[in-house]
Chain A
Amino acid sequence: MEPKKTPLYQKHVENNAHIVDFSGWALPIEYTSILKETKAVRTTCGLFDASHMGEIIIKGVQALDFLQALTPNDISKTKPGQLQYNVFLNEKAGIIDDLMVYNLGGSFLCVVNASNINKVYTHLCRAKLEGKYVKPDNVEIVDESPEISLLSLQGPASSKIISEIFGKDINNIKYMHFVQLNFKNKNIILSRSGYTGEDGFELYCPNGVAVSLWDAILEKGKKYNLCLCGLGSRDVLRIEAGYPLYGHEINDCTNPLEASLNWVVKFKKDFIAKDKLESAQIKRLRMGFVMSDRAIARQGYSVYSNNKIIGEVTSGTFSPNLDKFIGMAYIDKELSKPGAEVTIKIRDKFYKAQTSDFNFIKSRTKKGA
């Protein structure tokens, strides 16, 4: 099947992007260099096309009850204008997808992974029709993914660029908060959030104005050395920030506790498979590692301690910002202390590594701002 193109596809081609098929989408993996793009986001700023991401809107008088029942984080704690990280769980407490929930005031925008849009949408429709959590008539599920583009501007210079386009007040937006703005007579969402561990903004707009918005950011970004970034750097940046990626650290068979996402699980509220999590025997934990040797430990490689397999790598990369080879792995719970010396088998050779927490880089998101 021909990969789908985002409204910005032509822009990527004009800028000589190296385009690959990413879960059915033709998107840039890099423009010039993954390493250069990764560094730019931590020093100046980078612009990503993330239009492949899914946007599913939940409306209706029981929209909140519905989402509360299907996810372990407490969405009732968010106010309109706030977003929250959360996961959809299946009946065995496995993760169907991780998502950002935008509280639109009465309705909710769920931003899900491109590869999971159909799976999540089907899951939501089934849960609605079952009528177990809410009255089916009280919830409406709309997949707006095909109509919405997502641009992500990340890095220390982001707020200057955004305030030059939308006004100084933009600097008052706190991390994990958003506003709705008018751009070329269209309603867009601007949130202070991202997938990099840097200060940054995500902009959701109707497809029709995506190119104009991209051009406006590029123009204002020139003097701040804005760098066009592909999905290759997006992956390195999220590993540096210790963020999980669906299909790597989390999937239908991992639960949020072993994925070290305890902070997302609120046992004070009710949710699907809560009893499974309460009684779960956690045998392995997601954690970070830093290679002592020069080598990339990639997904699926075994982690050893005293000649015994104690875990498996889920992601690995070279971090240009640390000048180190880093990654994440699931490690047997009893041995999951940060700082442990382990070895990782890469193509029949053993390379030394040290387990760690997820703070590879110091997060510079504007938490208190």
Chain B
Amino acid sequence: MSILKFSKTHEWAKIDNNTAVIGISDYAQHSLGDIVFIELPKIKDKIKAGSQFGTIESTKAASELFSPLSGEVLEINKDLINNPQWVNESPLEKGWMVKIKIENSNEANSLMDEAVYKDFVVKESH
């Protein structure tokens, strides 16, 4: 069973034992608008919690992608590069970005559960 967690910068992590899949939330894709470009790290790159691991651009602006967790990149969603609209269509499934090997599982404790994140979004959008 994987656990879904969210960061304050609107990324999600689906944690499954010592690996995690990372993407951006439905709220994030909705406020960014049509996604037209994604830049992802390379396999074996080390990414750090709270640091930039990629760039996402919508028709409106370019934004940084911040990793919710630290770890080594095991896989990237290569098909997403040519189909960035998947982030809009399916942010939590087809729109996944990277899979990492988790370096420090304690970091997940500072992330939000889905219900807490939903409240956080409501507060942020008001």
Listed in ascending order, the chain A residues whose CB lies under 8 Å from chain B are 18, 29-30, 33-36, 232, 236, 294-296, 298, 317-318, 325, 347
Contacts and interface: CB of A to CB of B under 8 A. Distances in A.
B36 interface: yes
Contact of B57 (A29, A30, A296): A296
Given A232-B60, A294-B81, A294-B82, A34 B34 contact: yes
A298 B58 CA distance: 12
Nearest to B36: A318
A29 B62 contact: no
B113 to A, nearest CB: 28
A29 B34 contact: no
Given A33-B88, A34-B60, A294-B81, 7 more contacts: A18-B33, A29-B33, A29-B60, A35-B36, A296-B37, A296-B62, A347-B62
Interface in B41-98: 55, 57, 59-60, 62, 81-82, 88
A142 B121 CA distance: 47
Contacts of A325: 36-37
B33 A34 contact: yes
Interface in B17-34: 33-34
A29 B60 CA distance: 9
A236 B59 contact: yes
B59 A317 contact: yes
Contacts of B81: 294
Contacts of A295: 37
Contact of B33 (A33, A294, A298, A347): A33
A344 to B, nearest CB: 13
Nearest to A38: B59
A147 B34 CA distance: 35
Nearest to A318: B36
Most buried by B among A18, A29, A35, A232: A35
Interface of B: 33-34, 36-37, 39, 55, 57, 59-60, 62, 81-82, 88
Contacts of B88: 33
B114 to A, nearest CB: 24
A347 to B, nearest CB: 7
26 contacts: A29-B33, A29-B60, A30-B33, A33-B34, A34-B33, A34-B34, A34-B59, A34-B60, A35-B34, A35-B59, A36-B34, A232-B59, A232-B60, A236-B59, A294-B37, A294-B81, A296-B57, A296-B62, A317-B59, A318-B34, A318-B37, A325-B36, A325-B37, A347-B39, A347-B55, A347-B62
A325 B59 CA distance: 11
A41 to B, nearest CB: 14
Contacts of A347: 39, 55, 62
Contact of A232 (B33, B39, B62): B33
A34 B88 CA distance: 13
Contacts of A29: 33, 60
A36 B89 CA distance: 13
A8 B94 CA distance: 38
A298 B63 CA distance: 13
Nearest to A33: B34
A318 B36 CA distance: 7
A18 B57 CA distance: 18
A328 B37 CA distance: 19
A326 to B, nearest CB: 12
A271 B57 CA distance: 44
Contact of A318 (B39, B55, B59, B82): B59
Contacts of A232: 33, 59-60
A347 B60 CA distance: 17
